[in-house]
Amino acid sequence: MADPRATCLARLLVEYSRNVKRGQKVMIRGPSAAEPLLLELGRQVLRRGGHPMYRMAPNRAAEVFFAEAGPAQLAFLPDSAMAVAKDADHYLNIIAETNTQALAGVDPKKQTIVQKANRPIQDYVLSKNEWTLALYPTEAYAQDAGMSLEEFEAFVYAACRVDKKDFVAEWKKAKAFQQKIIRRLRGADKVHIVAPDTDLTMSVKGRRFINCCGSHNMPDGEVFTGPVETSAEGHIRYTYPVCYRGREVVDVRLEFEGGRVVKASAAKNQAFLKTMLATDDGATRLGELGIGTNYGIQRFIKSILFDEKIGGSVHLAVGRSYEETGGKNKSALHWDMICDLRKGGRLEVDGKVLQAEGKFRL
Tens of pLDDT, residue by residue over 46-61, are: 999 999 999 999 999 9
The answer, yes or no, to whether residue 1 has pLDDT greater than 80, is no
Range in 196-210, 239-253, 263-277, 283-297 the model is least confident about: 239-253
Helix (H, G, I), strand (E, B) or coil at 187: coil
Per-residue pLDDT band for 342 (boundaries 50, 70, 90) equals very high
pTM more than 0.85 = yes
Q: Per residue in 13-45, pLDDT tens? A: 999 999 999 999 999 999 999 999 999 999 999
Q: Give the residue from 331, 336, 304 showing the smallest Cα distance to 319.
A: 331
Q: Per residue in 201-242, pLDDT tens? A: 999 999 999 999 999 999 999 999 999 999 999 999 999 999
Query: What per-residue confidence (pLDDT) applies to 217?
Result: 96
Query: What per-residue confidence (pLDDT) applies to 247?
Result: 87
Q: Please state the domain extents for the chain.
A: 4-163, 168-360
User: What mean pLDDT is predicted for residues 92-114?
Assistant: 93
Say how far apart CA 317 and CA 172 lie, in whole Å: 26
Q: Give the residue from 15, 19, 2, 89 showing the smallest Cα distance to 52.
A: 89
Q: Give the residue from 272, 290, 292 showing the smallest Cα distance to 333.
A: 272
Q: Per residue in 131-172, pLDDT tens? A: 999 999 999 999 999 999 999 999 999 999 999 999 999 999
Q: Choose which CATH entry (3.40.1830.10, 2.60.40.10, 3.40.50.10860, 3.30.565.10) describes domain 4-163.
A: 3.40.1830.10
Query: What per-residue confidence (pLDDT) applies to 343?
Result: 92
